[in-house]
Amino acid sequence: MLFSVKEVDRAFYAAHLTDFLPARMIDVHTHVWLSAHSGLPRRQVRGAKWPARVAQECPIEDLLETYRLMFPDREVTPLIFGSAREDVVFGEANGYVSASAKRHGLPALLLSTPEWSAEELEREVIAGGFLGLKPYLSYAPAHIPEDQITIYDFLPRHHLEVADAHGWIVMLHIPRPLRLRDPLNLQQMLEIERHYPRLRLIIAHIGRAYCIEDVGNAFDVLRETERMRFDFSANTNAQVMELLIRAVGPQRVLFGSDLPILRMRMRRICENGRYINLVPPGLYGDVSDDPHMRVVSAEEGERLSFFMYEELYAFRRAAEATGLTRAEIEDVFYGNAAQLLAEARGAGDA
């Protein structure tokens, strides 16, 4: 078995999720890859290090099995893309995603590198049958310090122009230590919305606002937007989710998971503006050098369930706090993404 579903998991699901989740869901943020897709000389490691502890690879079969184990009474369709590893071989990783999507009838995005010309990007997306692209800050030029990377360093304007021309989806993981509250991030997010009106921008992880301190005045700025969407993948902060819903409304909020890392057994807390994943002893090795990880007692570890369930329960609390209707909740989990994917497919056929 890929992983065990314990009584603590079944109890959590029954108590908090069974009567909340719709029968059909679309997960807009999932990674599939094989360890064999690595091999280039390693680029500078950027971003969080702990996700690598959860899975060394995630074949498409593992992703689909995860849904079967976690949601035995639900139908889940993933939007898939490769893993943004520093040593990825783009051709192999994207080729695997494309083949997996075609074999299972799934939508997919291309893992992109800013080194490609506009023509190369266009050719890769079209040839692979992708609906858009997934850029990542790890692929920004190596000479730029991690805390100084801008969105345009890994999502260059010529890529945005091509995506806009085709009406593609762009799944954006924003950079910089201040996360969603960073003024330059906000400025560039607004620029993308204004200057590239046809592309379909998704801000992943609610802009990496995992703690309330990551928000600042971002939602005052973002409530003026009209098109950009937000997924709440790998986010367990109900307060942040509530602010998002109040700022942009439920029609621009999307369920995303960030599988396979959502298989993690954990509970997340915030301390002094930093998120910390509380995990069982020994399950993810020695985590003493990672500021985002902390081991709990063996007794408490036995009470920890899946990251996935923690995320979904947080969204339930936000949905109840904002008074979302049943129809609006179903849109967040299915309808909004179904419309987005249909629009992207239609734009590609135009």
| 223-262 confidence digits (pLDDT tens) | 999 999 999 999 999 999 999 999 999 999 999 999 999 9
Name the β-bridge partners of 48: none
Give the residue-averaged pLDDT of 58-85: 97
Domain ranges (residues) in the chain: 22-263+307-349
167-206 pLDDT per residue, tens: 999 999 999 999 999 999 999 999 999 999 999 999 999 9
What confidence score (pLDDT) does residue 335 get?
98
Q: How far are the Cα atoms of 79, 153, 181, 258 from residue 231, in angstroms, in the given order?
A: 12, 22, 17, 10
Predicted confidence band at 42 (pLDDT cuts at 50, 70, 90)?
low
Residues 6+ apart with CB under 8 A from 46: 86, 137, 138, 140, 146, 149
Cβ–Cβ under 8 Å, residues 266 and 300: no
97-112 pLDDT, tens digit per residue, is: 999 999 999 999 999 9
Ramachandran region, residue 294 (left: φ > 0; alpha: ψ -120 to 50; beta: rest): beta
**pTM of the complete model:** 0.97
3-state secondary structure of 269: strand
Architecture of domain 22-263+307-349: Alpha-Beta Barrel (3.20)
pLDDT score for 8: 98
pLDDT at 139 over 80: yes
